[in-house]
Amino acid sequence: MKAYVLKEPYKLEEVDRDEPQIAEPDDVIIAIKVVGICGSDMLSYQGKLELISYPRIIGHEFSGVVDAVGQGVKHVKPGDPVVVEPLISCGRCKPCITGDYNVCETLKVMGVHVDGACQEKLKVKAHKVFKLPDNATLKEGITLEPFSVGLEASLRGRLTIEDKVVIFGAGTIGICVLKAVKCHNARQIISVDIDDGKLERARNMGADHIINSSKEDVEKRVMEITGGKGANLVVEASGVESALAQCFEVTAYRARVTILGFYKSPMVQIPPIHIVIKELDVYGSRVYKNRFPLALDILAKKQVVLTDLITHEFTFDKLEDAIKTAIDPEVDSLKVIVTTY
């Protein structure tokens, strides 16, 4: 079978590999159909992701069709369209035992620590495989992964219908947070970014207000919009140091701040006075845990539209072009996908 191996940064090669075989009763072999290009894939391609080792088959956002199952697998069968939660946890450490497997002490992600989806077939464990609802497409399937990141960030921040929410960053993850907040019917959503095009898109996808932080005073505008009270939930999804500092300034008293960005610099200055004076709760949010079933139910009930996340499509043999398109700052992409059909 065909596999696309990233031998080293900027060196992607098509190779012929042996097909995976069922060895354990809980094995499932997936025929890969759609793969989404994620920020971590772009960094891996450019040699900028610390966690990765080469050679590596990248890709952790994927959907496909079940090809074969081990004898113990009952919830899916060959031919079923499925998505896969790409996290591999040890099952033995303290976070795993308490159900917080997303912060497993030795968490591995498919496509980063072990080979991922940019190959014709992939063997995974049954409990990571979820059947797509009848009304969802394989393309929509790949959006479940970034949408789950948005759900996790919102729910970590104890999102309620009463909340006025500020989301920093209107890139793919910021938009996924926006969609997650939107389907919880939050009272007011304010999207902050430095790019007018991205902000306009955020508005079209449900932001009630948009703020360009390169042109406007974010704190002043949020206070105007919220009647001087500030936001009840602020989500930092931009990964920009200055935005992290601003998160605390736009909060209401007793508000929550959820941080899911990664920052270039290991130390960032923030104004801690806001945390103390306003008694803020600050949460870190790392990938997701048990959000795929929720995301699938939301999708099945059509409570969210995710197809509009996909802005560019390539066939699998054009994987390198797809990655380059996703990286290109001149191209306004949200989610670039490759498909085998």
Q: Which residues bind Zn ion (CB under 5 A)?
A: 38, 61, 89-90, 93, 96, 104
> Which lies closer to Zn ion via its Cβ, residue 91 or residue 266?
91
DSSP state of 120: S
CB of residue 334 to Zn ion, shortest distance in Å: 12
Q: How many CB atoms lie within 10 A of CB 229?
A: 14
Decide whether 142 or 231 has the Cβ nearer to Zn ion. Answer: 142
Cβ 118 vs Cβ 112: under 8 Å: no
DSSP H or E segment with residue 235? strand 231-236
For Zn ion, the closer of residues 73 and 96 by Cβ is: 96
CA 203 to CA 230: how far, in whole Å?
20
Cβ neighbour number for residue 253 with a 10 Å cutoff: 12
As measured in angstroms, the least distance from the Cβ of 97 to Zn ion is 8
Collapsing DSSP states into helix, strand and coil, what is residue 321? Answer: helix
**Which CB atom, from 110 or from 190, has the smaller least distance to Zn ion?**
110
Asked whether the beta carbons of 188 and 164 are under 8 A apart, the reply is yes
- Nearer CB in complex with Zn ion: 89/213: 89
Nearer Cβ to Zn ion (93/245): 93
Distance CA 83, CA 306 (A): 14
Task: State the nearest-atom distance from the C-beta of 289 to Zn ion, in Å.
Answer: 12
What would the 3-class secondary structure string for 230-285 be?
A: CEEEEEECCCCHHHHHHHHHCEEEEEEEEECCCCCCCCCCCCCHHHHHCCCEEEEC
Nearer to Zn ion, 90 or 305 (CB): 90
Closest distance to Zn ion from the beta carbon of 60 (Å):
6
Q: Which amino acid is at 284?
A: G
State whether residue 97 is helix, strand or coil.
Answer: helix
Rg of the chain (C-alpha set)? 20
Minimum CB distance to Zn ion, residue 95 (Å): 6
Torsion sign, CA atoms 44, 46, 50, 53: positive
**How far from 46 is each of 8, 24, 39, 59, 315, CA to CA, in Å?**
9, 35, 11, 14, 21
In this structure, are strands 209-212 and 81-84 parallel, antiparallel, or unpaired? unpaired
Is the Cβ of residue 112 or residue 190 nearer to Zn ion in the bound state? 112
The CB-of-61 to Zn ion minimum distance in angstroms stands at 5
Q: Cβ 183 to Zn ion, closest distance in Å?
A: 19
The token pair at 112 is 């980063």
Minimum distance of Zn ion from residue 103's CB (angstroms): 8
Q: Which residues pair with 30 in a beta bridge?
A: 66, 122
Q: Closer to Zn ion at the Cβ: 22 or 93?
A: 93
- Four-residue CA torsion sign, 187, 192, 195, 198: negative
Closest separation between CB of residue 277 and Zn ion, Å?
36
